[in-house]
């Protein structure tokens, strides 16, 4: 299998691919047209933030199975387009969290003590000690927006500096935040109380431009803004106006709406500390994300194990061991249903009975839909795009789970519902790995679902 690395990747990751027998091409700095011209030759694409994976590019990616982002942010990848084509998209959220958190603290300190201004003025021959008076961080209030992997580390490091830390995150319970030793507040309360505000959220429709004029107007006079997350979360035009008026006393940005940024009034502000997206740029982080993305992609392409995917549920090796035998059964049931059902379908109901409780059964459900759609649609159907293709055709997919099975240890029952009819097929495993179809509509059967079979309804 062939792997294309189109952005800088640590040597440790490249070596892992080579040791596992993959053919690796490192080809950085390609234009969109150049990348489009060769992408059809590869099974895997490894990127960082420079490569733009667009729908147009993916139309030429005829063999591509997986995209690996060495890092966290995926705003340079058209995830819906990848999903529709059945391409798994993975990132490595744990590889650079400490590095990014430390960079955030470095920017807070640099901003507070005027370190960049002090450096540049001294190099210009000026001794401006009186003009560059800073502040202590001791007892100042740091507002952390986003209490994920990076945000929680920033909060912990700031606590070590004896700052008062308040946290807003709508997706983390107040109890979890308070158990970690921090005060949970609403967003408006954070704006009102914080001397420093740092954002650690993904770039989504809801978070793009969230720090804007309306938000700045709610903040303390003289607040400091820090963004080491994603460009565009802070609306740069509004930040410039807020700094110009003095509402925002200073800002530190590692990320920008457009990278690299062009000339702008914001970049000319003395009280702006800025770095060229260095949040993950340490030797340790580069090694960590390179090893992580290589390991994940190797595991997926060789074993089917899915870790840190953003467009399909993760499937660990342990879960795959438990569910693996059921995947083949489920897909064969789906294939049989494609031939028995009355199309077009309105709904597919997948009922799991027996020893399935507590397991993530979405891979099995995807296998059912893959088997169901493969004989009847033109698109290539796989575990990534099966549910998407079903929704596009107006088919609702429903799962139900029951703990007790009268006749079998485990039973998967699939029902297809159309305006004309409802059809049902049930299957189980004999022993641990032998698939059997045991029911078709109202008839009990015992059938090995493989090869060519003739089914006569008498």
Give the full edge-to-edge strand order of the sheet including 410-417. Answer: 396-402, 347-354, 410-417, 422-430, 434-440, 443-447
- Please tell me the distance from the alpha carbon of residue 105 to that of residue 102, in angstroms, as a whole number: 5
| Residue 377 and residue 424 in contact, taking contact as beta carbons nearer than 8 Å | no
Same domain, 225 and 359: no
Return all residues near 153 (Cβ < 8 A) that are at least 6 apart: 97, 98, 101
Residue 298 lies in a domain: yes
Checking if the pLDDT of 78 tops 90, the result is: yes
Same domain, 58 and 116: no
| Residue 413 and residue 425 in contact, taking contact as beta carbons nearer than 8 Å | yes
Q: For a pLDDT cut of 70, what percent of the chain falls above it?
A: 99
**Residue 405 has what pLDDT?**
67
- Report how far apart the first and last C-alpha atoms of the chain are (Å, whole number): 49
Same domain, 88 and 155: no
Same domain, 103 and 190: yes
Same domain, 89 and 121: no
Q: 355: domain range?
A: 317-447
More confident position, 274 or 314? 274
**Residue 379 has what pLDDT?**
66
Q: What is the 3-state secondary structure (H, E, C) of the chain?
A: CEEEECCCCCHHHHHHHHHCCCEEEECCCCCHHHHHHHHHHCCEEEECCCCCECHHHHCCCCCCCEEEECCCCCCCECHHHHHHCCCEEECCCCCCHHHHHHHHHHHHHHHHCCHHHHHHHHHCCCCCCHHHCCCCCCCCEEEEECCCHHHHHHHHHHHHCCCEEEEECCCCCHHHHHHCCCEECCHHHHHHHCCEEEECCCCCCCCCCCECHHHHHHCCCCEEEEECCCCCCECHHHHHHHHHHCCEEEEEECCCCCCCCCCCCHHHCCCEEECCCCCCCCHHHHHHHHHHHHHHHHHHHHHCCECCECCCCCECHHHHHHHHHHHHHHHHHHHHHHHHCCCCCCEEEEEEEECCCCCCCHHHHHHHHHHHHCCCCCCCCCCCCHHHHHHHCCCEEEEEEECCCCCCCEEEEEEEECCCCEEEEEEEEECCCEEEEEEECCEEEEECCCCCCCCCCC
**Residue 189 has what pLDDT?**
98
Same domain, 249 and 113: yes
Tell me what the pLDDT averaged over the chain comes to.
92
**CATH number of residue 43's parent domain:** 3.40.50.720
Residue 358 φ/ψ region, left for φ over 0, alpha for ψ in the -120 to 50 degree band, beta for the rest: left
| Length of the chain in terms of residues written | 458
Same domain, 439 and 336: yes
Same domain, 419 and 440: yes
Same domain, 198 and 332: no
Same domain, 222 and 251: yes
Among 253, 274, 295, give the residue marking a domain's end.
274
The number of domains in the chain is 3
Checking if the pLDDT of 124 tops 70, the result is: yes
| Residue 240 and residue 261 in contact, taking contact as beta carbons nearer than 8 Å | no
Residue 312 lies in a domain: no
Residue 295 lies in a domain: yes
Residue 67 — very low, low, confident or very high, per pLDDT cuts 50/70/90? Answer: very high
Q: Tell me the pLDDT tens digit for each residue of 198-219.
A: 999 988 888 999 999 999 999 9
- By annotation, the residues acting in catalysis are 230, 259, 277
Same domain, 393 and 436: yes
Greatest alpha-carbon pair distance for the chain in Å reads 99
When mean pLDDT is compared over 77-86, 290-299, 315-324, the highest value belongs to: 290-299
| Residue 47 and residue 7 in contact, taking contact as beta carbons nearer than 8 Å | yes
Q: Please report, to the nearest 10 degrees, the dihedral formed by the alpha carbons of residues 368, 370, 371, 377 taken in order.
A: 140
Residue 8 lies in a domain: yes
Segment 102-127 mean pLDDT? 95
| Residue 223 and residue 194 in contact, taking contact as beta carbons nearer than 8 Å | yes
**Residue 72 has what pLDDT?**
84
Q: Tell me the pLDDT tens digit for each residue of 314-373.
A: 777 777 778 878 888 999 999 999 999 988 899 999 999 988 877 889 889 999 999 999
Residue 455 lies in a domain: no
Residue 311 lies in a domain: no
**CATH number of residue 424's parent domain:** 3.30.1330.90
Segment 106-128 mean pLDDT? 94
Residue 185 lies in a domain: yes
Same domain, 257 and 358: no
- Please tell me the distance from the alpha carbon of residue 123 to that of residue 121, in angstroms, as a whole number: 5
| Residue 42 and residue 60 in contact, taking contact as beta carbons nearer than 8 Å | no
- Please tell me the distance from the alpha carbon of residue 145 to that of residue 133, in angstroms, as a whole number: 28
Rg (CA), the chain: 27
Structure tokens at 340: 């028995």
Checking if the pLDDT of 100 tops 80, the result is: yes
Checking if the pLDDT of 406 tops 90, the result is: no
Structure tokens at 414: 């699939």
Residue 40 lies in a domain: yes
């Amino acid at each position: 299998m062939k792997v294309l690395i189109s952005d800088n990747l640590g040597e440790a990751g490249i070596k892992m691919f080579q040791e596992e027998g993959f053919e690796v091409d490192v080809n950085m700095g390609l234009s969109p047209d150049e990348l489009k011209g060769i992408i059809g030759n590869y099974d895997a694409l490894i990127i960082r933030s420079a490569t733009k994976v667009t729908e147009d590019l993916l139309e030429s990616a005829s063999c591509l199975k997986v995209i690996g982002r060495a890092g966290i942010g995926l705003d340079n990848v058209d995830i819906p387009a990848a999903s529709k084509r059945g391409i798994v998209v993975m990132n490595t959220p744990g590889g650079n969290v400490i590095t990014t958190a430390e960079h955030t603290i470095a920017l807070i300190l640099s901003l507070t003590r005027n370190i960049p201004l002090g450096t540049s003025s001294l190099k210009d021959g000026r001794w401006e000690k009186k003009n560059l008076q800073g502040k202590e961080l001791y007892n100042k209030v740091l507002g952390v927006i986003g209490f994920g992997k990076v945000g929680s580390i920033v909060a912990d490091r700031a606590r070590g500096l004896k700052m008062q830390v308040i946290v807003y995150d709508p997706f983390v319970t107040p109890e979890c935040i308070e158990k970690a030793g921090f005060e949970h507040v609403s967003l408006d309360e954070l704006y009102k109380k914080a001397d420093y505000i740092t954002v650690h959220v993904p770039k989504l429709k809801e978070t793009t431009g969230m720090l804007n004029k309306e938000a700045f107007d709610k903040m303390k006079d003289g607040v400091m803004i820090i963004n080491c997350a994603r460009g565009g979360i802070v609306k740069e035009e509004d930040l410039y106006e807020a700094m110009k008026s003095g509402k925002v006393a200073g800002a530190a940005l590692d990320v920008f709406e457009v990278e690299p940024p062009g000339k702008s009034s914001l970049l000319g502000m003395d009280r702006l500390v800025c770095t060229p997206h260095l949040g993950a740029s340490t030797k340790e982080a580069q090694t960590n994300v390179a090893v992580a993305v290589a390991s994940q992609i190797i595991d997926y392409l060789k074993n089917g194990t899915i870790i840190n995917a953003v467009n399909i549920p993760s499937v660990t090796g342990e879960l795959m061991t438990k569910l693996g035998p059921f995947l083949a059964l489920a897909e064969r049931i789906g294939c049989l249903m494609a031939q028995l059902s009355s199309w077009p379908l309105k709904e597919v109901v997948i009922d799991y009975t027996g020893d399935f409780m507590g397991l993530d059964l979405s891979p099995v459900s995807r296998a059912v839909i893959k088997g169901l759609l493969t004989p009847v649609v033109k698109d290539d159907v796989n575990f990534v795009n099966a549910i998407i293709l079903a929704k596009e055709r107006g088919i609702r997919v429903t799962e139900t789970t029951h703990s007790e099975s009268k006749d079998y240890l485990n039973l998967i029952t699939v029902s297809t519902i159309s305006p004309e009819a409802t059809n049902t097929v049930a299957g189980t495993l004999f022993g641990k790995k032998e698939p059997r179809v045991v029911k078709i509509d109202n008839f009990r059967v015992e059938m090995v679902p493989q090869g060519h079979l003739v089914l006569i309804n008498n």
